[in-house]
Amino acid sequence: MVMQQDALKAQQDEKKLQENLSRIKNKLIVLSGKGGVGKSTVAVNLAVNLSLKGYKTGLLDVDIHGPSVPTMLGLENHKLGNDGEKIMPVKFNENMKAISIGFMLEKPEDAVIWRGPLKYNAIKQFASDVNWGELDYLIVDSPPGTGDEPLSVCQIIKPDAAIVVTTPQDVALTDVRKSITFCNHVNIPIRGVIENMSGFTCPHCGKTVDIFKKGGGERISREMNVPFLGSIPIEIDIMEKGDSGNPFMNNHRGESESVKAFEKIISKITK
């Protein structure tokens, strides 16, 4: 009897999950082998820019231990509500809403100390118990590597494609291969690789310095036979806007190299 009830509950949960996911047209996961290469920056700015282009967009932050989305969107003090049935994501603008464990913490400095199964369950709730509504895009920001969080996303949400972010130097590139192998393993097609922090042009003297080298992301893409989406330079504005909660692709005026590069990347993603 208990087993029958369990099976029924599992069936109902699966139905709820599939109903929620069926209302999302494109699900993209942003991954990287290494930490700190700019996944959250890419995920946040991609989501914001898609929403400004008129796409209904959701941003799901599955970085349980180090969520950056609330800060990068300037929504640190926002908490999740509910509509009596489902969790309501936090609204960034008319077309964009976001979910992050950061919206559930009492204080931003609180640490979440969870093992794999708890993270799996949290991600399942984010996918099935959140009122995402109809979405053109769901962008998923993950922590670095190929651990519990991206694996759970791949099992539960089954993204249509992955965007792999790297920096150009060899230590980061070794780990990019792992991200690509991971995607092949879980059958997630790779939309492409982005090389972030690719060169820095001094705003004072105009000289360009390749702080982390250049071209490694494109080389790896060729070697591993996956598309290359483009390079984004290091710009102080990207970091400052990330810190201040006003993403650099939000109502930009289109003048900087990074904005132009990111626009090109987005046009390849939406094509």
d(CA 34, CA 176): 8
What would the two tokens of residue 233 be? 């330079």
194 is written with which tokens?
Answer: 């982005």
Compute the least distance from the CB of residue 103 to ligand ATP, in Å.
17
Give which of Mg ion, ligand ATP, none residue 150 binds (C-beta under 5 to 8 Å, depending on kind): none
The only residue of 27, 31, 33, 41 in contact with ligand ATP, by rule CB under 6 A: 41
Q: Which of 68, 71, 128, 152 binds Mg ion (CB under 5 A)?
A: 68
- The residue (of 38 and 192) whose beta carbon lies closer to Mg ion is 38
- For the record, the structure tokens of 170 come out as 């060899």
142 near Mg ion (CB under 5 A): no
Q: Which residues contact 60 (CB under 8 A, 6 or more apart)?
A: 98, 99, 100, 126, 127, 138, 139, 140, 141
User: Least distance in Å: CB of 1 to ligand ATP?
Assistant: 46
Query: What's the CA gap between 243 and 32, in Å, rounded?
Result: 21
**Near Mg ion by CB under 5 A: residue from 32, 40, 71, 128:** 40
**Residue 66 is a binding residue for ligand ATP (CB under 6 A):** yes
Site string for ligand ATP, 151-190 (x = CB under 6 A): ----------------------------------------
- Under the binding rule (CB under 5 A), the answer on residue 71 touching Mg ion is no
When the beta carbons of 56 and 123 are compared against ligand ATP, the nearer one is 123
Judge whether 223 and 217 are in contact, CB under 8 Å: no
47 binds ligand ATP (CB under 6 A): no
| 197 contributes a contact to ligand ATP by CB under 6 A | yes
Q: Is the dihedral of CA 31, 48, 269, 200 positive or negative?
A: negative
239, 248 Cβ separation under 8 angstroms:
no
| 215 is an interface residue for ligand ATP by CB under 6 A | no
Rule CB under 5 A: say whether 32 interacts with Mg ion: no
Comparing CB distances to ligand ATP, the nearer of 37 and 154 is 37
Looking at the Cβ atoms of 101 and 238, the one nearer to ligand ATP is 238
Name the segment binding Mg ion (CB under 5 A); options: 9-17, 40-48, 84-92, 207-215.
40-48
Separation in Å, CA 146 to CA 41, 118, 154, 197: 19, 17, 11, 22
Residue with the shortest CB distance to Mg ion = 40
Could you tell me the two tokens for 227? Answer: 């598309």
41 binds Mg ion (CB under 5 A): no
140 SS3 class: strand
| Helix-then-strand count for the chain, H and E | 9, 11
Cβ atoms of 194 and 269 within 8 Å: the answer is: no
Whether the CB-CB separation of 270 and 263 falls below 8 Å is answered with no
Binding residues vs Mg ion (CB under 5 A): 39-40, 68
Binding residues vs ligand ATP (CB under 6 A): 32, 35-41, 63, 66, 68, 143-144, 196-197, 232, 234-235, 238-239, 242
